[in-house]
Amino acid sequence: MENMDVTVIATSLPALARDLGQDPITLKLALTSYVVSLGVFIPISGWVADKVGARTIFRSAMITFMTGSILCALSDSLLTFVAARFLQGIGGAMMVPVGRIIIVRSVSKAELVKAISYLTLPSLMGPVIGPPLGGFITTYFHWRWIFLINIPICILGLYLAGRYIQNFREEDPAPLDMKGFLLTACGGGVAMLGFSLIGNHLVPQAWPIIMCVAGSVALFFYFRHAMRTEYPLLDLRLLKIPTLRASVLGGSLFRVGLGAVPFLLPLALQEGLGLNPFEAGTITCASAFGAMFMKALASMVLRRYGFRTVLMGNAVLAGMAIASYGIFSSHTPYYVMLLVVLLGGFFPSLQFTCLNSIAYADISNRDAGRATSLASVVQQLSLGMGVTIAGLVLQISNYLQGHATIVEADFWPAFLVVGLFSVASVPVTARLPKNAGLELTRRHGSGADK
């Protein structure tokens, strides 16, 4: 539901912007507001799940997400739409990290890579269905209907969660770090909002700079607080674990490029190449087919080459795949674009599986909630930064080339920059031990396990 929602709105963004009387690049604020909400509420997701119960929070999160979707469909201005997306983000902040906690506590480490692949494989149906469905609805009906398709999915999810998910909880969870929550909420939320407002002309341009500085100061004070507190909201001391550090820090660089693509690619196909939303959606969804194919091979590749080698080599291939979208022009054949986007889903999917799995290689079940909160916050903020950076580079490219509106030639610098972020993760993952994550790649029941 969440993955389809993100891809549906990205495909419909140009039409939605015109209907609300906004520039398409300005609508990145709607995507960023969702990520800001994630950054604010993900830090407490692990604690709330431990305190109340994973199933209870998981189902409540789905209801919140569905409510936000309905309000998005009813929005008639940029302000109301951004507020509705923020409410959706509250649901997403609890839904995805808590789902991951449930998986980690349900399977052995020897089965974790396979379990993570199973977890993400159904969710990839969102990017498969979302772009062409969103494009079809936007082209032939109205963009408001794209948010109402979440209602039946949510109802089915509530039934399945109640039937099959155990209500995992900790008997004696650590106390909630309220000071840490306020510092991370103000720091991450204000900084992300400030970055997204740069160059938008929605507010005086001094405001985004002030917001970025204020958010950074709050995050600095949180860092000092976390180092001195026994039970911090986001336990930065967990980053001493090499596998988690590689997943969080190296993964944050990789996800900047990954987060930019759902925003940048549909915009390039529609505003740059002149395709309608349905045509753009059929091309965009090809990446999900590449991702699904790779999920079936991920365990075999990791057993053959190991996490360290795969994370280093595949980051370069993923970066090249993302940057290659910049070669698209009005003369590029439709089937060539399909093939390139298909490969563009293949390599990032493998990287995503590796990063999500190795985060738990050396984490105990008791620390799973705290590790998930930390990894998820950085992951979502990185994805949001991808949208912000892509939009900013696109604006700079448009300005430097002197174009009155967004044109085809404005997009290739943005794809190149976000592709380089993926490559920049290599020095971080290169510091992993050669046998990092070995327990995750062992076959269940093999001699190595015995």
> Of the candidates 6, 19, 115, which has an alpha carbon nearest to the alpha carbon of residue 68?
6
What integer pLDDT is reported at residue 217 of this predicted model?
Answer: 93
pTM above 0.85, yes or no: no
What integer pLDDT is reported at residue 416 of this predicted model?
Answer: 93
pLDDT higher than threshold 90 for residue 5: no
pLDDT tens for each residue of 338-393: 888 888 888 888 888 888 778 877 777 677 767 777 887 787 778 778 888 888 88
What integer pLDDT is reported at residue 62 of this predicted model?
Answer: 92
**Residue 115 CB partners (closer than 8 Å, separation 6+):** 103, 106, 107
pLDDT higher than threshold 60 for residue 443: no
283 shares its domain with 346? yes
pLDDT higher than threshold 60 for residue 448: no
- For residue 176, being part of any structural domain is answered with no
What integer pLDDT is reported at residue 450 of this predicted model?
Answer: 28
What integer pLDDT is reported at residue 235 of this predicted model?
Answer: 82
76 shares its domain with 126? yes
Pairwise CA distance, residues 32 & 385, whole Å: 8
- For residue 118, being part of any structural domain is answered with yes
pLDDT higher than threshold 70 for residue 336: yes
pLDDT tens for each residue of 217-260: 998 999 999 888 888 888 888 888 888 888 888 888 888 887 78
331 shares its domain with 203? no
What integer pLDDT is reported at residue 245 of this predicted model?
Answer: 86
Give mean pLDDT, residues 184-203: 77
The CATH number for 123's domain is 1.20.1250.20
431 shares its domain with 406? yes
Count CA atoms closer than 13 A to 112's CA, side-chain side.
Answer: 27
- Number of domain units in the chain: 2
Kindly indicate the confidence band of residue 444, based on its pLDDT and cuts at 50, 70 and 90: very low
What integer pLDDT is reported at residue 330 of this predicted model?
Answer: 85
48 shares its domain with 117? yes
- For residue 171, being part of any structural domain is answered with no
What integer pLDDT is reported at residue 199 of this predicted model?
Answer: 65
pLDDT tens for each residue of 293-327: 777 777 788 888 888 888 899 899 989 988 999 88
- Long-range contacts of the stretch 311-315 (C-beta < 8 A, 24+): 311/246, 311/250, 311/351, 311/354, 311/355, 311/358, 311/425, 311/429, 311/432, 312/426, 312/429, 312/430, 314/347, 314/350, 314/351, 314/354, 315/250, 315/254, 315/351, 315/422, 315/423, 315/425, 315/426, 315/429
The two three-digit tokens of residue 336, written as one number: 């060539």
pLDDT tens for each residue of 98-108: 877 777 777 77
- For residue 84, being part of any structural domain is answered with yes
pLDDT tens for each residue of 52-78: 888 888 899 999 999 999 999 998 888
Pairwise CA distance, residues 292 & 307, whole Å: 19
Kindly indicate the confidence band of residue 155, based on its pLDDT and cuts at 50, 70 and 90: very high
